[in-house]
Amino acid sequence: MQSPRPTVKPAPAPLPLAVRLVLGLYGLAWRALLPGLKRNGRLAEGWEERTLASGPPPRADLLIHAASGGEAYLAWELLRNLPATLAATQASLPPQGADPLLAPLRVLVTTFTSQGLGVLEQAKADLAPGVEVLPAYFPFDLPGRMRTFLHTVRPRAVVLLETELWPGLLAACREQGVSALVLNGRMTDKSLRGYSWLPWFWRALAPAQVLAVSDEDAGRFGKVFGDGCTGRMPNIKFDRLRFDDAPGEQTARPEFAKTLPQDSPFVILGSVRKEEEEDVLKIIQGLREARPKCVIGLFPRHMRRVCVWERLLREAGVPFALRSEKQKAEPGSVIVWDVFGELSGAFSLARAAFIGGSLADLGGQNFLEPLAHGVTAVTGPSWSNFAWVGRGIFDTGLVRLAPDWRGALAELSALAAETPDRAEVQARASAYATSRRGGAVAACQAVAERLIIA
């Protein structure tokens, strides 16, 4: 159930002295960290934009913050549905006395990572003309700079996806009377314990509305911000699953299909994280022994790990090639994917897929995406990031839960030898997802109402 519909724009509000003092200390901590952060390879990219040294940010009607690639896809889905929802909502609500929204709707979408920017650039080409997407790096959350940032952008509303609770930005929203919404909200027990240290501080910065993806998540947000602003919505990730194309159609297969041997099973090890590389290497070695004809597609979660994988495979004596080299793969070899944005297309060629972030205590990555291509997924024991899906997904057999790398190896080997019918997997996954969709519509409704009353 959603929170009540907004009826008035929030007024600018000065923050209590104690909150301002904490924000001051928070800003000092940021300033102390900045010299070290500049030496971080990931953060050095886009440094001037992150520090606002590159000039003022663009004016926008809406600001959305999507931490990385996964959240950027959620923003894409939200923006795909927003124009129609905005038009319908504007027609249904009484006039609020605000200037009408002009087309195209200008949306500044910020992210921390180059992967997130890559997804947003793809979104720009996909979205209808009624939305103009402006991708950018998210500024460091120094309270003073965030006030300047928000005052310059002058959005009618701010959307934070999943668990992006930044005190500097939330404080600026409060002070400038801008509605902040947390959508597709998730919060772990560990995160709740962190926010519980200063409950009065977070209550003072509470967003206008929080829509969480489960009753448990909503309860945790309620403990941080109060139940009055907290509600429920379906998870947008279900809306992102597409089941329109027949699985395995040759005409729909990506161009890198020709690099795969015709009679070799293709197995994907996707979104592999640094902390589990040793275990994944054991899976690779085990697959080559159990299924010598298998070709393995290795997708590191972060591109900076490609060079590490080159070294690991070379030292282990495992033959490999980089995807960018476009070489014909040999049976028993590994293709290290050093090209961003091709994992989804690769699923359409695979017999099985292991989804990483799950062998180490990292919470897991998205094990639902392979299902859209009729591919059974395998995940390790760490999947708390997807607890909202429910254990029922494992009971269906659409996703197989492995206790460790040995279990994941056994499942992948079995799937490579006897692959479930892709059309059947896709149909069952479609039915599962369809009954759980509606998150994008709920999110767009919340955003549209805030844009109109702003």
DSSP characters over 81-130: HHHHHHHHHHHHSPP-SSPPPPSSEEEEEEESSHHHHHHHHHHHHHS-TT
For residues 220 and 299, state if they share a domain.
Answer: no
- Residues 373 and 347 sit within 8 Å (Cβ to Cβ): yes
Average pLDDT over residues 255-284: 94
For residues 341 and 411, state if they share a domain.
Answer: yes
Position 31, amino acid: R
- Comparing 114-128, 172-186, 343-357, 393-407, the range with the smallest average pLDDT is 114-128
For residues 165 and 276, state if they share a domain.
Answer: no
Residue 178: pLDDT above 60?
Answer: yes
Residue 96: pLDDT above 60?
Answer: no
For residues 379 and 289, state if they share a domain.
Answer: yes
For residues 421 and 444, state if they share a domain.
Answer: no
Average pLDDT over residues 43-53: 92
Average pLDDT over residues 381-405: 92
Within a domain: residue 259?
A: yes
Query: What's the predicted TM-score (pTM) here?
Result: 0.77
Residue 264: pLDDT above 80?
Answer: yes
The confidence score (pLDDT) of residue 284 equals: 98
The confidence score (pLDDT) of residue 94 equals: 64
Provide the b/e sequence for 322-339 (b: ≥16 CB within 10 Å): ebeeeeebebbbbbbbbe
Average pLDDT over residues 413-435: 93
Number of separate domains in the chain: 2
Sheet containing strand 399-401, edge to edge, reads 320-322, 334-336, 295-300, 266-272, 352-355, 377-379, 399-401
Residue 73: pLDDT above 50?
Answer: yes
Helix axis angle for 143-153 and 17-38, nearest 10°, is 90
For residues 91 and 144, state if they share a domain.
Answer: yes
Query: Residue 255's CB: how many other CB atoms inside 10 A?
Result: 9
The confidence score (pLDDT) of residue 251 equals: 40
In which domain, by residue range, is 262 found?
250-434
Closest CA to 312 of 323, 301, 300: 300
For the chain, the average pLDDT equals 91
Within a domain: residue 333?
A: yes
Residue 64: pLDDT above 90?
Answer: yes
For residues 54 and 187, state if they share a domain.
Answer: yes
**Cα 110 from Cα 178, distance rounded (Å):** 17
